[in-house]
Structure 1
Amino acid sequence: IQRVFLVSVCVSLAIIESLKDFDIPDLSIKWPNDILSGNYKIGGILIENIITGSKIKRSIIGFGLNVNQKSFKSAPHASSLNAITGSDFDLDEIFYSLIEHLHQNMIKPFQLMESELYAQYHAHLFKKGQMSTFKIHDDIQITGTIEKVSIDGKLVVKLVNGDFQEFGLKEIQLLY
């Protein structure tokens, strides 16, 4: 249970791998659950884990991907595969590619591959190592660099004073 975020890591990497097959450029993972091309969100992941005792009994994985949508009036950081590449995509082809990559990632003994998977995840982590501005509780802004995501799924940020601080879901927002 302490490594439940590894499911999210595997799902994120499966989506990135699938989208690379379609030549989608500049792919990254914006912690905790967004898929980006450049600075634009093209997809998101939701995972519900059903836990019994200290084990994950089942995970329900949902993801959305903007494929052929052309306009994003109320979402300035959103885009689609079509808007990025200028090409229309076959929804079934995208869907089956995503499912196949997801299947391949989830049948691996991913708990034994934890270090390798986190290395791949961190290699795709949006704004990793770049000075960035974040909003935390009560709209306070802080500056720092994303260092990594911890084993328990917290974002580790190195603040400008050199201190490291971990943030859980909904505790921090990257401003970009």
Structure 2
Amino acid sequence: MYKISANTSIIGKSVIYVPSCHSTNDYLNQLISNKVIEEGTTVVTSDQTKGRGQRGNAWECQADSNITLSCFLQPHFIEAKDQFTMNIAVSLGVYDTITSLYSSNVKIKWPNDILIDNKKICGILIENYLSGRKISNSIVGIGLNINQTSFNGNFPATSLFIETGKKMNLNYASQLLLENLDKRYHQLKNGEIDRLKREYYDNMFWFQEEGLFEEVNPDGTRERFNGVILGVNDYGCISIAKENKEVKHYAFKEVKHIY
């Protein structure tokens, strides 16, 4: 099905297509454990049966309808403490792709979702492997909803087909995605961190806007509060100014947007 010929120098230079697999991240991990593969090798499938999201969440995906792929990277230039910069670059690559195909109200929601009109259209799962103070290998998994017609999950989701009413060519969309990811990865590799962060904030959901949040207290209870997102700190935690002016930093699963 896939015959991708992306104009890239790293990501997508080598593409492996598998008709069906449990998870492209898992498939690529197995591939790496069995042999040496070149950086940028990308595994693509038409039918991901057990896709994984962040922290064990499932990713729903209709067969032959969406982009489900994983890329193998070796970002030795990134220190362990700066891991979130990879998330920024990848999020922008996906954002670039969606806005090329549909430009209305697309936002990057911390830490790993892309939204259209507050509905999730893409999930990103980045698994970093460390060697000392540096990242040795990264597997970047992306699930981008293209032609899916309906969703069964307990959160609002959408696809480009639902938004536009038009079926899209998966080969073309995949090629565009790989080219945009490759461009953003080169910016990261070239040390353009400030530029990437600036663009990330420019397109971040609720950045410097007041919104309703729910935090998880140490005893497991939950508490809602109004706050303003100030940004993301060096460790990838979201920084939120609460109504009492207190600024707190939250890791993933410690706070969520209520909308």
Correspondence 1:146 to 2:225: no
Q: For residue 88 of structure 1, what is the aligned residue in structure 2? A: 167
Q: 1:60-139 counterparts in 2 under 5 A?
A: 60-110=139-189, 112-137=191-216, 138-139=221-222
Q: Where in structure 2 are there 5+ consecutive unaligned residues? A: 1-79
Give CA deviations for 1:147-176 in whole Å, capped at 9, x if unaligned.
111122110101011111110111111111
* Deviation at residue 119 of structure 1 after TM alignment: 0.6
| Alpha-carbon contact 1:24-1:85 (below 8 Å) kept | no
Of 236, 246, 250 in structure 2, the residue corresponding to residue 163 of structure 1 is: 246
Give CA deviations for 1:32-73 in whole Å, capped at 9, x if unaligned.
000011111000100000110000011100010111111124
| Alpha-carbon contact 1:68-1:89 (below 8 Å) kept | yes
| Alpha-carbon contact 1:24-1:81 (below 8 Å) kept | no
* Deviation at residue 112 of structure 1 after TM alignment: 2.0
| Alpha-carbon contact 2:89-2:188 (below 8 Å) kept | no
* Cα distance between partner residues in 2 of 1:144 and 1:19: 28
| Alpha-carbon contact 2:102-2:160 (below 8 Å) kept | no
Correspondence 1:53 to 2:132: yes
Larger RCO, structures 1/2 (Cα 8 Å, 6+ apart)? 1
Of 100, 107, 114 in structure 2, the residue corresponding to residue 28 of structure 1 is: 107
Report SS of the residue matched to 1:13.
helix
Give CA deviations for 1:81-113 in whole Å, capped at 9, x if unaligned.
111111111111111111111112112344621
Judged with a 3 Å threshold, the aligned counterparts in structure 2 of structure 1 residues 169 and 74 are, in CA distance, closer, same or farther, namely closer
Single out whichever of 85-94 and 47-56 deviates more from structure 2: 85-94
Write the letter of the residue equivalent to 1:27: V
Correspondence 1:17 to 2:100: no
Identity across matched positions, percent: 31
* Deviation at residue 19 of structure 1 after TM alignment: 1.4
Write the letter of the residue equivalent to 2:223: I
How many residue pairs get aligned? The number is 176
| Alpha-carbon contact 1:16-1:28 (below 8 Å) kept | yes
**What's the Cα RMSD here?**
1.3
| Alpha-carbon contact 2:86-2:188 (below 8 Å) kept | no
TM-score by length of 2: 0.65
Write the letter of the residue equivalent to 2:246: D
Write the letter of the residue equivalent to 2:117: G
